[in-house]
Structure 1
Amino acid sequence: MSASLTQKLTLEKFLQFPHVEESPAWEYVDGVALQKPMPKARHSILQKRLLAEIDSHSQAYTALPELRCTFGGRSVVPDVAVVAWNRIQVNEAGEPEDNFLEPPDWSIEILSPDQSANRVIDNLLHCIKYGCQLGWMIDPDDRSVLVFAPRQEPSVCRGASPLPTLSEMTLEVTADSVFFMVTDQ
């Protein structure tokens, strides 16, 4: 079960809390700080394999684990944030800025048993509203992927259903192949 700080906070105050970068990640939604559940083995393996698959199929994008994305009055931490390299701000030394203040191009969440599906969906809808091109909510228990895209109804993909990816990617994936990543060695 995830923890929360129920007192109303401002986003600025939330980002100053010393515990905000602890693991598991804390998110800020509607004035409340919420801690995501601690990932378990299946979740972590799926996350690791998704990162590798996405990175191996694109030069224009990078897949990042647990990247804090602060925008539109929220601070969310997708399990996998896919961001175009040219959108990552760099400092004077040419190093990436620590704070990412935009939605990712593609937000992927892996639903944990102790996690509220509605909270995850709410975060994905928020990402889409503010410019994210694609959102996936992966449900390992149901072996399905709920897909979000701008100006489209959400769709559920199972089995051999092809999943959308970003247009500049060569990645071709189905719902089955996502779950094969957990058992493939």
Structure 2
Amino acid sequence: MQVALPEQQVPARIVYDTAGGVSQEDYLAFCRANPNLRCERTSEGEIVIAPPVGLESSYRNERLTVQLGNWAQKDGRGKAFDSSAEFLLADGSAYGPDAAWVSHESLRKLSREQRKEFPRLCPEFVVEVMSPSDRLKSAKEKMERWIANGCKLGWLIDPDQQIVYVYRPRRSVKVCRAVQELAGEGPVQGFILDLRPIWAGLG
């Protein structure tokens, strides 16, 4: 099923009139039929379609993924992924973070064919960078979903407020305000994110 949406300011939701919403199989078919849409699926079966990000948000995401990718290549314990990757989680949701890191140990559990599709795994580390269309409450709920599904460390970055929310299992959320860099821990021990270009944006 292909869909045409009006110009979006905030994420749109498609709710299926079936118990449990759209199945994962139907969701994957929906994504294949609409490759130009950035879609996610909630555990309740709703499809969420995000509007395209603006130029500044794209730049901020690029600065993030370049840093994580360069570190991952040097570190050698896993692979970094950008916002085009999406992961099928244990609770039935399907989310795509702005950046993610997955250990080689987790990747080895996937077959060659599984690596070509949305993988059924949760990254050990995810980063979400808020764009103007995002709402803080929804962004925080998404971070909690990541952690509940097995993510070991998550960063929610609010560039306009220069705040980073740090999520970890069984620990309270840590709020970092106007820091210039942020150090990874746990699975990404040794990674240092330089936040200055993300705060600065396009100047």
* TM interval, short-chain normalised: 0.7 to 0.9
Cα distance in structure 1, aligned partners of 2:66 and 2:194: 16
| Larger displacement relative to structure 2 (7-16 or 101-110) | 7-16
Cα distance in structure 1, aligned partners of 2:128 and 2:146: 12
Tell me which of 134, 140, 146 is aligned to 1:115.
134
Cα distance in structure 2, aligned partners of 1:129 and 1:96: 23
Cα distance in structure 1, aligned partners of 2:41 and 2:111: 25
Letter of the 1:132 counterpart:
C
TM-score, normalization: structure 2?
0.77
Cα distance in structure 2, aligned partners of 1:125 and 1:164: 20
Per-residue deviation at 1:35?
0.7
Percent identity reads: 22
Per-residue deviation at 1:162?
5.5
Q: Deviations over 1:2-22 (max 9, x none)?
A: 122122322332222155653
TM-score, normalization: structure 1?
0.84
Preserved contact between residue 183 and residue 190 of structure 2 (Cα < 8 Å): no
Tell me which of 143, 150, 155 is aligned to 1:124.
143
Residue 69 (structure 1) aligns with: 87
Residue 13 (structure 2) aligns with: 4
Structure 2 unpaired stretches of 5+: 1-9
Preserved contact between residue 20 and residue 26 of structure 1 (Cα < 8 Å): no
2:112 counterpart of 1:91: yes
Tell me which of 76, 83, 89 is aligned to 1:59.
76
Residue 3 (structure 2) aligns with: none
Per-residue deviation at 1:131?
1.1
Cα distance in structure 2, aligned partners of 1:76 and 1:154: 20
Cα distance in structure 2, aligned partners of 1:5 and 1:21: 13
Residue 26 (structure 1) aligns with: 39
Per-residue deviation at 1:179?
2.4
Between the two proteins, the alignment pairs up a number of residues equal to 181
Per-residue deviation at 1:164?
4.1
| Larger displacement relative to structure 2 (95-104 or 144-153) | 95-104
Preserved contact between residue 108 and residue 135 of structure 1 (Cα < 8 Å): yes
Cα distance in structure 2, aligned partners of 1:48 and 1:159: 20
Tell me which of 40, 43, 46 is aligned to 2:57.
43
Structure 1 unpaired stretches of 5+: none
Letter of the 1:91 counterpart:
R
Preserved contact between residue 55 and residue 61 of structure 1 (Cα < 8 Å): no
CA root-mean-square deviation: 2.5
Cα distance in structure 2, aligned partners of 1:144 and 1:18: 32
Preserved contact between residue 183 and residue 189 of structure 2 (Cα < 8 Å): no
Preserved contact between residue 158 and residue 176 of structure 1 (Cα < 8 Å): no
Per-residue deviation at 1:61?
2.5
